[in-house]
């Protein structure tokens, strides 16, 4: 049975452990680690039969697949260590791949697999297929409640306040690369929910981070995070609309956790459905 090592102690790690415990996911959890041992042990203490705590080096040695769920700041170093050990890596903080494209290059050079789940974004299979041919544009429009955007670096740097907003307001328009830098997922603000991973995944599946256009709109009273992706090219036109329900951790959508579970399942399942 294939084993996974989980780096990070949050909603994704909890969802994976629950899926394995219930038998939904046919893998073995080799262990869990975090940047601080105390946070990892506190996290594991909430389970009746927790997997073991391990140091990062122990985890990489013990697991077949390393699952990153700890934020973009760890991705570069983690990829270097995992690939050096000949291990496959699943990256949840996809925005880090735009800042460190050498990770993708190293995966191809080493032969170690780099998995990038769809997360909260549906339709990546269609985008990948469409972009084999000629594509004129890929545009992603994200709508969030104002409190889901407050604290984003782009808003802080440009002195954009959403306090008391009464009507929807476009707060950003630019490339996917610019959006990932201005709205990263690893900002330490309790109300801020990063969008970087979804934006990065769309750009990597399609025409790249410098040609993919992003709009971000704050909508007062909105209860779900909504995304509209439009692709137009020689194949025709693709329009994907997504409304994500937040999970128990408001920074992580429910669909994101489900996507990670399914992505790990696909790693071990000989049958592959979809592009």
Strand order in the sheet with 28-33: 28-33, 3-7, 65-68, 88-91, 114-115
Per DSSP, the three-state class of 253 is strand
Closest among 101, 136, 97, 134 to 117, alpha carbons compared: 97
Helix and strand totals (H; E) in the chain: 11, 10
**Residue 227 annotated in active site:** yes
Active-site hit among 100, 137, 227, 241: 227
For residues 198 and 120, the answer to whether their CB atoms sit within 8 Å is yes
For residues 197 and 119, the answer to whether their CB atoms sit within 8 Å is yes
Counting every residue written for the chain, the total comes to 275
Catalytic residues, which ones? Answer: 227
């Amino acid at each position: 049975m294939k084993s996974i090592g989980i780096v990070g102690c949050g909603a994704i790690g909890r969802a994976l452990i629950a899926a394995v415990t219930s038998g939904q996911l046919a893998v073995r959890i080799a262990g869990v680690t975090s940047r601080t041992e105390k946070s990892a042990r506190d996290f594991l203490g909430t389970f009746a039969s927790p997997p073991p705590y391990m140091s990062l080096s122990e985890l990489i040695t013990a697991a077949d697949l390393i699952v990153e769920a700890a934020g973009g700041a760890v991705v570069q170093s983690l990829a270097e260590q995992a690939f050096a050990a000949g291990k496959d890596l699943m990256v949840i903080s996809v925005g880090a791949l735009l800042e460190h494209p050498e990770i993708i290059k190293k995966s191809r050079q080493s032969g170690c697999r780099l998995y990038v789940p769809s997360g909260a974004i549906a339709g990546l299979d269609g985008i990948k297929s469409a972009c084999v041919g000629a594509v004129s544009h890929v545009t992603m429009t994200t709508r969030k409640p104002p409190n889901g955007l407050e604290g984003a670096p782009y808003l802080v740097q440009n002195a954009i306040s959403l306090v008391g907003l009464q009507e929807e307001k476009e707060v950003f328009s630019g490339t996917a690369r610019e959006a990932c830098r201005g709205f990263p997922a690893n900002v330490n603000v309790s109300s801020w929910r990063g969008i970087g991973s979804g934006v990065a995944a769309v750009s990597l599946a399609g025409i790249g981070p410098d040609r993919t256009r992003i709009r971000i709109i704050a909508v007062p009273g909105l209860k779900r995070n909504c995304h509209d992706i439009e692709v137009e090219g020689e194949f025709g036109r693709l329009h994907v609309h997504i409304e994500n329900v937040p999970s128990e951790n408001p920074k992580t959508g429910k669909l994101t956790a489900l996507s990670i579970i399914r992505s790990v399942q696909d790693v071990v399942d000989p049958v592959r459905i979809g592009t």
